[in-house]
Amino acid sequence: MSLTAKDKDVVKAFWGKISSKADAIGQEALGRMLVVYPQTKIYFAHWPDYSLGSAQVNKHGKTVMRAITDAVGKMDDLIGGLSSLSDLHATTLRVDPGNFKILSHNILVTLAVHFPADFTAEVHVAVDKFLAALSAALADKYR
Amino acid sequence: MVEWTEFERTTIQDIFSKMNYDVVGQQSLARCLIVYPWTQRYFGNFGNLYNAAAIMGNPMVAAHGKVVLHGLDRAVKNMDNIKAAYAELSVLHSEKLHVDPDNFRLLGDCLTVVVAAQLGAAFTPEVQAAFQKFLAVVISSLRRQYQ
């Protein structure tokens, strides 16, 4: 399910539209994930507060979203571009890659909430493919 | 037996009582056929599904989306025993329609996105959790008869 030229254009154009709200999107997506999929909290057992709007969720949501935005510019070689992040997730963080899909779903939901008119079916499929390709690249070094 | 909190019951009843089943049904099914094109395998006689615009405008997709949402209504009205309420539908999907049960989750995800877009900020993380729990129970009930 590789990214076509059209997918990449659609993702880039949509990301341009959401760029001013990108941090907030990342924060909300992470916050949603922790509420809707409580098992994901195990990766953040050291946090005092998992709620939407907490300092930890805000900081980490922003970090993750900035890396995703960065990956929008690396769609021609996600595996190469995400190599060191993949090393990090594989050897240090050891996040089960099944969770990438979970976070991706919550990003899509957050985009639908904030951009109901722009998040058309065509944008949805392109962004879903991009997040799937990104997740695969992130899992690349796992074994 | 699934345990529902007051908040979950109220949330589900509230979302569905305010929902336009025709619109949400059409939007969700069309989105599913576009985002997960392999699901089109079940709709060979639906005519033009060649691109997103064709799917969005297809009257058979709209009609069937409505059927699916009204099917969900059965679960909304029988939250304390969705398993029993869905026994026949489960047999239908496995024995007659031969739908891969993994597809139920795909349609469920598209429905979640459509409802999120409709409700906006009212679709809080807690509301999302209740909605997704409801869909998970429905999907599990639909899967029950698959051998």
ipTM of the complex: 0.92
**pLDDT greater than 80 at residue B10:** yes
Q: How many domains does chain A have?
A: 1
Residues of B in contact with A105 (CB under 8 A): 109
CATH number where B130 lies = 1.10.490.10
- pLDDT score recorded for residue B25: 97
**B73: in domain:** yes
Its domain, for residue A13, covers 5-139
- pLDDT score recorded for residue A70: 97
- pLDDT score recorded for residue B13: 98
Nearest CA in chain A to B111: A109
**pLDDT greater than 90 at residue B16:** yes
Vertex A123 angle, CA B68 and A116, to 5° = 70
- pLDDT score recorded for residue A104: 98
- pLDDT score recorded for residue B36: 96
State whether residue B78 sits within 8 Å of chain A by CB. Answer: no
Vertex A113 angle, CA A107 and B60, to 5° = 100
**pLDDT greater than 90 at residue B28:** yes
Q: How many domains does chain B have?
A: 1
State whether residue B114 sits within 8 Å of chain A by CB. Answer: yes
- pLDDT score recorded for residue A21: 97
**Averaged pLDDT, groups of 10, chain A, 143 residues long:** 96 97 98 97 95 96 98 97 96 95 98 98 98 97 95
Is the CB of residue B72 less than 8 Å from the CB of residue B138? yes
**pLDDT greater than 80 at residue B147:** no
Q: Using one digit for the tens of pLDDT, what is the confidence trace for B33-49?
A: 999 999 999 999 999 99
Work out the minimum CA distance from B84 to partner chain A, whole angstroms. Answer: 26
Is the CB of residue B20 less than 8 Å from the CB of residue A110? no
- pLDDT score recorded for residue B140: 95
State whether residue B122 sits within 8 Å of chain A by CB. Answer: no
Residues of A in contact with B121 (CB under 8 A): 113
**pLDDT greater than 90 at residue B1:** no
**B104: in domain:** yes
Return the amino acid letter for A4. Answer: T
| pTM of the full structure | 0.95
Its domain, for residue B62, covers 6-143
**pLDDT greater than 80 at residue B116:** yes
**B133: in domain:** yes
Nearest CA in chain A to B109: A105
Residues of A in contact with B118 (CB under 8 A): 116
Long-range contacts, B74-81 (Cβ 8 Å, 24+): B75/B134, B75/B137, B75/B138, B75/B141, B76/B12, B76/B13, B76/B16, B79/B2, B79/B4, B79/B9, B79/B12, B79/B134, B80/B1, B80/B2, B80/B4, B81/B1
Residue B57 neighbours by CB under 8 Å, 6+ apart: none
**B108: in domain:** yes
- Percent share of chain B, pLDDT over 90: 97
**B15: in domain:** yes
- pLDDT score recorded for residue B84: 94
CATH number where A19 lies = 1.10.490.10
- pLDDT score recorded for residue B55: 98
State whether residue B123 sits within 8 Å of chain A by CB. Answer: yes
Q: Using one digit for the tens of pLDDT, what is the confidence trace for B70-89?
A: 999 999 999 999 999 999 99
- pLDDT score recorded for residue B115: 98
**B1: in domain:** no
Mean residue pLDDT of chain A comes to 97
